[in-house]
Amino acid sequence: MRHPLRMTCAISLAAMIAACAEQNAEATVERAFQDVNVVDESNLNDVMLTVADPNEAVAHFQRTAKANPDRIEVQRGLATSLVRAKRYSEAAPAFAKVVRMEGATNDDRVDYADALIRSGDWARAENVLDEVPPTFESFKRYRLEAIVADSNQEWDKADSFYETAVGLTTRPAGVLNNWGYSKLSRGDFAAAERLFGDAIRNDQTLFTAKNNMVLARGAQRNYTLPVIPLEQSERAQLLHSMALTAIKQGDVTTGKSLLQDAIDTHPQHFEAAVRALRALESGTTG
């Protein structure tokens, strides 16, 4: 009579063990899937901030932020994606929210200042940068400091900030071009030309610096193209820019010659140069 009881107990115990094992297994699997979801979400956020369409990224982070309003990395992602989408008037208040959250960094404050500058709020941007400790040094911080100093015509400060920014990056072409444009706007054409040359040496594809260099040379009445790497269409466009500079300075004959060179150089029909030359020849410029 005892064997059936023992059998029943054994079966019950086996069932209990199996149930516990199943629950433990389910818990382990659930934890594993939770970990996978965290990793997947992190990867998805990275993708959204780099290769995704900017407005799709905004929509993604808006949905995620609505469900997770207290997660600073999500709010930061939303603010950053708004900048990528060029929705600066929305990005500035989004970064304002980020810098008020626990865990906000000095990088967040610099990004907030950047969004404010892009949205046209220069005064607030300057105040935000002033709140960043002077011990915090980053390329972006000093580039923004230089831009703000430029806007205030504080030339010595701007030069100092530009110089510091150049030393904090391995890709200085953009900031060198900005520095050169600052010099150009002050009338220091020789210094501007040198800085544009430095920018081009660091990035031979930076057409903006090439065009700015031509403007700096033209302002010195030097109407020859610099010796820099140029595609045929780029050469034609620079000849056109130089021609317009010459005309504005009263060197009309030189301007006409440069326009003709631009038309002859361009691999396709160069409508802007053709139209400018016709206007000159018909005496309708001015």
**What is the per-residue pLDDT for 221?**
96
Question: Residue for token digits 């603010």?
Answer: 79
Cα-Cα-Cα-Cα torsion 220, 221, 225, 227, nearest 10 degrees, comes to -40
Distance CA 214, CA 250 (A): 17
**What is the per-residue pLDDT for 72?**
94
What parts of the chain have a pLDDT lower than 70? 1-44, 51-52, 284-286
Question: Exposure of 138 by Cβ count < 10 A (0-12 exposed, 13-18 middle, 19+ buried)?
Answer: middle
Distance CA 116, CA 97 (A): 13
**What is the per-residue pLDDT for 181?**
96
**What is the per-residue pLDDT for 23?**
53
pTM above 0.85, yes or no: no
**What is the per-residue pLDDT for 99?**
97
DSSP assignment, residue 187? Answer: T
Q: CATH second-level architecture of 51-124?
A: Alpha Horseshoe (1.25)
